[in-house]
């Protein structure tokens, strides 16, 4: 008994120091959240590019499975308000892929639009999405290319605004911000919330402070000549963060890669809680591998979790700190919703999301393996990945 009391007494100073660190982190995080709110609110006034020419465009859409709502999302690319010729190239890697049926329906619905399908099982590297794109590129007819993921939904002016960015001769590629669109499931809502109150505002703040130079696979627009100049898709066939690597290669060639204020939707579907958390962990580890120091600094984006940890260490007044942090997080959600015209957000899920996001943040430092489409990969320091067969 005496030894237990002695051990407790010995640990007390350490616990107090740790608690004070949590308090400092929660206060700094709350202040950062308020600053982020101000930055997010200023995005609405950002100028969007306006097209003066309309070159022929090929849209490349790699597909994998018949995701719910896929037909409607693809149809939005077939009805763009764009004055130039548009070709849509869709690709799958298996003849049994159920997405093929949806593509056939799309071709029947829009017979006047060049919609071509590539079915090719060839693998060119560990990144299967890039293998799909390599196989698809041979069917692309036009010099201007727009690459977009299958889970992206866009408005009618999307293509005109994206292609307009390439009119600037200093621009080698262009990308877009995106927000989360949830279905009615708990996992889908949490995944969308992760984008809307965590990923998106952090990206906006980092861009405004010039702390990041991202490029997002949700949309990458570039010319075929630029793609060839940076080594084509083959140069990135083993890279986990292929979108970031493409942007970095374009910048290394001496060109700009703007992230446009144009907002597009990233649809978050019900994949179940475990797959959703595994997906979030992959994203977290990808960001950590890309920018380890900057990622470590994003601990300030977790004020609510830090305030809860302060309470667990017995810090007096931590209840008020929890309330402050939570109010800041609610305010950020409201700012994002108002700025981008999003539908009502599930505010009641914010505390749950924030605790899960912090847990993922901590776990992301403990390993370099990721799971992608059911396969495990080990990621090297240079961002390349190999399938983990252990």
At residue 53 the predicted structure's pLDDT band, cuts being 50, 70 and 90, is confident
For residue 132, what are the contacts with CB-CB under 8 A and spacing of at least 6? Answer: 62, 63, 64, 91, 92, 93, 120
Across residues 331-349, what is the average pLDDT?
Answer: 93
Instruction: Quote the pTM value.
Output: 0.89
pLDDT at 305: 96
How many Å apart are CA 179 and CA 237, to the nearest integer?
27
pLDDT at 276: 87
Indicate if the pLDDT at residue 4 is higher than 50: no
Q: Are 257 and 175 in contact (CB under 8 A)?
A: yes
pLDDT at 2: 46
- Name the 3-class secondary structure at 176: strand
Across residues 289-316, what is the average pLDDT?
Answer: 89
Instruction: Give residue-wise pLDDT tens across range 172-218.
Output: 999 999 999 988 889 999 999 999 999 999 999 988 888 888 899 89
Tokens of 271: 């994949």
> Would you call 185 exposed, middle or buried from its count of C-beta atoms within 10 A (0-12, 13-18, 19+)?
middle
Instruction: Give residue-wise pLDDT tens across range 205-254.
Output: 988 888 888 899 899 999 999 999 999 999 999 998 899 999 999 999 99
How many percent of the chain have pLDDT more than 90?
65
Q: Where are the beta strands (DSSP E) in the chain?
A: 57-62, 86-92, 115-119, 144-147, 152-153, 173-182, 220-223, 259-268, 369-372, 375-379, 385-387
pLDDT at 147: 96
At residue 279 the predicted structure's pLDDT band, cuts being 50, 70 and 90, is confident
What is the set of domains in the chain, with CATH numbers? 57-287 (3.90.550.10)
Across residues 22-45, what is the average pLDDT?
Answer: 89
Q: Are 60 and 89 in contact (CB under 8 A)?
A: yes
Spatial strand order of the sheet with 115-119 comes to: 115-119, 86-92, 57-62, 144-147, 220-223, 173-182, 259-268, 152-153
């Amino acid at each position: 008994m005496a030894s237990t009391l002695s051990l407790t007494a010995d640990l007390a100073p350490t616990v107090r120091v740790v608690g004070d660190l949590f308090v400092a982190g929660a206060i700094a995080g709350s202040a950062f959240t308020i600053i982020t709110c101000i930055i997010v609110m200023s995005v609405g006034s950002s100028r969007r590019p306006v097209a003066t020419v309309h070159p022929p465009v090929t849209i490349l859409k790699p597909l994998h499975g018949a995701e719910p709502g896929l037909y409607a999302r693809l149809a939005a690319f077939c009805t763009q308000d764009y004055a130039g010729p548009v070709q849509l190239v869709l690709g799958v890697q298996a003849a049994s892929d159920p997405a093929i049926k949806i593509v056939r329906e799309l071709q029947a619905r829009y017979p006047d639009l060049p919609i071509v399908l590539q079915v090719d099982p060839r693998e060119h590297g560990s990144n299967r999405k890039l293998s799909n794109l390599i196989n698809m590129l041979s069917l692309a007819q036009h010099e201007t290319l727009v690459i977009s993921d299958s889970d992206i939904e866009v408005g009618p002016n999307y293509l005109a605004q994206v292609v307009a960015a390439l009119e600037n001769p200093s621009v080698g590629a262009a990308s877009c911000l995106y927000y989360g669109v949830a279905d009615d499931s708990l996992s889908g809502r949490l995944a969308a919330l992760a984008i809307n109150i965590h990923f998106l505002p952090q990206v906006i703040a980092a861009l405004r402070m010039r702390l990041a130079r991202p490029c997002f696979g949700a949309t990458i627009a570039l010319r075929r000549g630029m793609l060839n100049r940076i080594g084509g898709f083959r140069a990135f066939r083993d890279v986990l963060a292929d979108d970031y690597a493409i942007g970095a290669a374009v910048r290394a060639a001496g060109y700009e890669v703007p992230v446009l204020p144009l907002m597009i939707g990233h649809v978050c579907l019900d994949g179940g809680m475990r797959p959703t958390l595994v997906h979030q962990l992959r994203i977290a580890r990808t960001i950590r591998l890309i920018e380890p120091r900057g990622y470590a600094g994003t601990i300030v984006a977790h004020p609510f979790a830090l305030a809860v940890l302060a309470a667990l260490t017995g810090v007096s007044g931590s209840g008020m700190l929890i309330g402050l942090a939570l109010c800041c997080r609610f305010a950020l959600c409201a700012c994002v919703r108002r700025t981008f015209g999003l539908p009502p957000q599930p505010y009641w899920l914010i505390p749950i999301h924030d605790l899960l996001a912090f847990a993922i943040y901590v776990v992301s430092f403990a390993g370099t393996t990721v799971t992608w489409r059911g396969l495990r990969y080990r990621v090297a320091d240079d961002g390349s990945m190999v399938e983990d067969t252990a």
